[in-house]
Structures are given as C-alpha cells and as structure tokens.
C-alpha cells in the first residue's frame, strides 16, 4: 500500500500530464464499449426485423421482370396469381398454410361528402392472424364473406374516424372504386409503421380498408386484378411451414415450382430464417471489426503511457540514484514505476467505463442534433440505423477494463526496466 500511496502522490505532482495520459486510456476504453454497443444495437435491430418476419414463413412477392428477361417485348401481365397459391399448396408438402393478399394504394373511399385516400387490402381471414390485427368493434372478414363474394369491409381506425367522425360506422356503407361496401368492423389503432410476422417491409396501418380477396377479384375483374397470363393477381403470398427447419429447402422448392409456371422471373422469395443466419454471421464479423478499431485507440493510449513514463524516468534520474544509494533494489524501482503505470491505466479504465455507459444518452443527443440540423441526411439512412438503440454488452465492460490494465503493464515494463537498470553513481551525477 505504501508504494501505491507514493505512486499516487507522484502522479498528482503533475496533474495535467497525468490527466492527459489518463485521457488516452479513457478514450480507448469508452470506444470499446461504445462501438460494441452500437454494433450490437444495429445487429439486434436487424435480427428483430428478420425474426418478426417469422422463422417458419416464406414470403413470395410480385416483382417486375428485368429488362434482360423481357428483351424488348411488351409485358402486360406479370407477377403472382391465384393459381400460384393453389399450385404451391398442392405441390409442396411442407407448406401448412398459404396466405395471399392483393394491395392497391392511392384509392379513394367516400362516405357522404367525406373523402379519404388510402390503401385497399384484399385479403383472406388469415390476414388478421398474420398481421396481428385487433378489433375495436365489429368483426373481421369471415370465410363466408369470400365464398359469397360479399361487399363487406373492415376499416382501420383512422379511416373510420375521418369518414364517420362520431358516428358508428358498423352497418353503414362506403364507396370504394365503383361499388359500395358495408362496414362490419374497425381495427384498433396501431403505430404508424409496424413490422409483423409475414411481412416483407414496414406496413402502414393507418389508412387501410380490408375487403375479401374473392370479392375484389369478382367485383373489379380484369380492370384491376388481372395478373400473369390473365390469372387473378396477388401482391404477396406468405407460406407458413410445418417445420421451420425446412425453410431453406422449401424456399428452393418454391423457386423451382414458380420457374416452371412463369414466363419471367417476376417474383422474389424471402426466407427469414436464412436471412437471420446470415445476419448473425455478419454481426460477428462486424463486432470483431469494431473491437479491432477500438483496440487501436487503446494501443494509442498505451503508447502515450510509455512516452510519459520514459519522460518521467529521465526527469527522476537523480531521485532514482538517491533511492538506489539508500538501499532500494532494482525490483523496488521496477515495482514503483509499474505501479504508477497501472494506476494511470486503472483511472483511465474506470473513467472510460463511466463514459461508455453514457453511450445511450450520447447517441440520443447526437441523433437529435442530426435530425434537427441534417434531416435529409437522417432520412437517407437505413431504417435499421435510424431506429437503432445501442445495447451495452455486459462482458465488454470487464474486457475493456482488463485490456486497459494489460496495456498499462505492457507499455510500462520498458520504462520501469530502464529506470531500474540505471547506474546509481551516474544517476546521482545527473542534474535535472
């Protein structure tokens, strides 16, 4: 303890120098915690989005064929159809449920003199389970609605409020495209954009009108819902699997099945489980890279410690000579200088941990500044980055602290050995 007290007293004799040395270690330790927390936050957000797609789902969406496939030919019909739903259900045993829907945006909905522009979601009853919709009143679409091609609809709460204000919408009719639909239910309000199992992207739940898919096909016919080869079009097909372990193999089977029946590659297949595995591998690589970058900061801090301690050895040459003349052994001198470097490292490590724990607040402040000063730049960033929250990894704290102490010891050994190796007589002659 006496050596520790002496070391502290020596360091406090030069507070500015000690503070600058500690600052180098502080930046290194805080950087380790910050960068790992940010990389973990980005990875966690990406994993969450992929997991919310449903590990036991395969998502097939309509896409426009590329110019290379078309080769100058005019394409009037492309994309997924009702026939694809039947074909996939019958030909792939691992599929337990097929959930199609057709989406049209920019549609006008009228009630008396009130007009709302929103999105038609022509879907089946399973759509409610897929999107986890909850009702505030009435009911959702039933199988019989599709079987009878009933003109019924379910409104999102915002659409219901804009069209009916304080009236009860249940049982009343709204004008959709060129027909009237009776309102049978209203969904509860949800976040402006949410991701739920079975979706390929953020879904806006504020302006939707849900009608039976069969009704849409029948009422609006070829003018609105004709797809590839004249079939009834769907925007997306979600395949629910019996076993998520079969996701990759089933995805390959789906691709082969669709290639046999489609003239062009007018579909995209998403396998959340495969994406999740890729994201986890990427996460490990990303975290390793972040840790390497942060370690460079600690290395720079260690070099700073060595420089300061070498300068200290030169300044304290006469002191070293006096201590040796009074009986101090080489190992005593070595221990004293090592204690001082470790004290610097410990102080830098502890303050770095405190600084690292402020990562969330610091990032929130930087995000607010960026959103206020550079809104266009923030809007251009991926949604994963925009909404990411840093996740501090508990293990990163002792690791960063341990590395900081190790850096102090490693970079303090040479100055300590150099101090201990001085000739006492030559040291006493030194005039500092």
Looking at residue 397, its pLDDT comes to 87
Same domain, 29 and 101: no
| Residue 395, CA distances (Å) to 37, 160, 355, 378 in order | 11, 50, 16, 31
Same domain, 143 and 285: no
Written as tens digits, the pLDDT of the chain (432 aa) is 776 777 777 777 778 888 888 888 888 888 888 888 887 887 777 766 666 666 678 889 888 776 545 454 444 467 888 889 988 988 999 988 899 999 888 889 999 999 999 999 999 999 888 877 899 999 999 999 999 999 999 999 999 999 998 899 999 999 998 899 999 999 988 644 344 444 444 455 678 999 999 999 888 765 444 444 556 888 899 998 888 778 888 888 999 999 888 877 888 888 877 666 676 677 777 777 777 777 787 888 888 888 888 888 888 888 888 888 888 888 888 888 888 888 888 998 899 899 888 877 887 787 788 778 877 777 777 666 666 778 888 888 888 888 888 888 888 888 888 888 888 777 777 655
Last residue of a domain, one of 231, 265, 299: 265
Enumerate the β-bridge partners of residue 183.
Answer: 153
Same domain, 68 and 205: yes
Residue 292: domain span: 2-50+277-429
Looking at residue 194, its pLDDT comes to 46
Tokens at 419, concatenated: 């101090």
DSSP state letter for 66: P
Looking at residue 149, its pLDDT comes to 94
How many whole angstroms separate alpha carbon 125 and alpha carbon 141? 5
Q: Express each pLDDT in 71-96 by its tens digit.
A: 544 444 678 888 899 889 889 999 88
Q: What angle do CA 332, 335, 336 make, to 5 degrees?
A: 85
How many whole angstroms separate alpha carbon 122 and alpha carbon 208? 10
Q: How many domains does the chain divide into?
A: 2
Same domain, 126 and 237: yes
Does residue 271 fall inside a structural domain? no
What is residue 117's three-state secondary structure?
Answer: strand
Last residue of a domain, one of 265, 287, 304: 265
Same domain, 343 and 254: no
Same domain, 203 and 313: no
How many whole angstroms separate alpha carbon 348 and alpha carbon 269? 51
Does residue 56 fall inside a structural domain? no
Does residue 270 fall inside a structural domain? no
How many whole angstroms separate alpha carbon 173 and alpha carbon 245? 46
Q: What angle do CA 64, 68, 73 make, to 5 degrees?
A: 75
DSSP state letter for 328: -
Give residue for tokens 């690791």: 399
Q: Express each pLDDT in 333-342 by its tens digit.
A: 888 888 888 8
Report phi then psi at 90, rounded to 5: -80, -30
């Amino acid at each position: 303890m006496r050596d520790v007290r002496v070391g502290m007293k020596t360091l406090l004799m030069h507070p500015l120098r000690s503070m600058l040395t500690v600052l180098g270690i502080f930046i290194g330790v805080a950087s380790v915690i910050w960068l790992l927390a940010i990389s973990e936050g980005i990875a966690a957000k990406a994993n969450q989005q992929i997991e919310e797609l449903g590990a036991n789902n395969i998502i097939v969406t309509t896409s426009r064929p590329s110019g290379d496939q078309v080769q100058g030919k005019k394409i009037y019909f492309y994309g997924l159809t009702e026939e694809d739903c039947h074909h996939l259900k019958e030909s792939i045993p691992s599929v337990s449920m097929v959930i199609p829907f057709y989406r049209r945006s920019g549609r006008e909905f009228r009630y008396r003199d009130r007009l709302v522009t929103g999105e038609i979601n022509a879907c089946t009853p399973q759509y409610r389970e897929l999107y986890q919709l909850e009702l505030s009143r009435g009911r959702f679409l039933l199988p019989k609605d599709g079987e009878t091609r009933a003109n019924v609809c379910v409104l999102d709460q915002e659409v219901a409020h804009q069209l009916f204000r304080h009236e009860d919408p249940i049982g009343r009719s709204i004008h959709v495209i060129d027909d009237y639909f009776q309102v049978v239910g209203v969904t509860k309000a949800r976040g402006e954009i949410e991701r739920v199992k079975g979706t390929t992207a953020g879904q806006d739940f504020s302006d939707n009108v849900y009608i039976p898919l069969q009704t849409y096909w029948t009422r609006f016919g070829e003018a609105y819902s004709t797809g590839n080869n004249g079939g009834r079009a769907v925007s997306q097909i979600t395949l629910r699997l019996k076993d998520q372990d079969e996701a990759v193999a089933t995805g390959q089977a789906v691709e082969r099945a669709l290639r046999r029946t489609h003239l062009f590659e007018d579909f995209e297949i998403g396998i959340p489980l495969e994406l999740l595995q890729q994201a986890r591998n990427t996460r490990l690589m990303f975290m390793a890279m972040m840790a390497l970058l942060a370690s460079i900061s600690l290395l720079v801090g260690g070099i700073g410690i060595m420089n300061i301690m070498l300068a200290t050895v030169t300044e304290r040459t006469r002191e070293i000579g006096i201590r040796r003349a009074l009986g101090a052994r080489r190992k005593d001198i070595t221990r004293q200088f090592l204690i001082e470097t470790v004290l610097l490292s410990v102080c830098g490590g502890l303050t770095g941990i405190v600084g690292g724990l402020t990562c969330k607040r610091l990032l929130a402040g930087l995000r607010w500044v960026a959103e206020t000063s550079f809104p266009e730049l923030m809007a251009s960033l991926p949604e994963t980055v925009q909404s990411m929250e840093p996740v501090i990894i508990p293990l990163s704290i002792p690791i960063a602290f341990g590395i900081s102490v190790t850096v102090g010891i490693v970079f303090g050994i040479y100055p300590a050995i150099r101090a201990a190796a001085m000739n006492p007589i030559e040291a006493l002659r030194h005039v500092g």
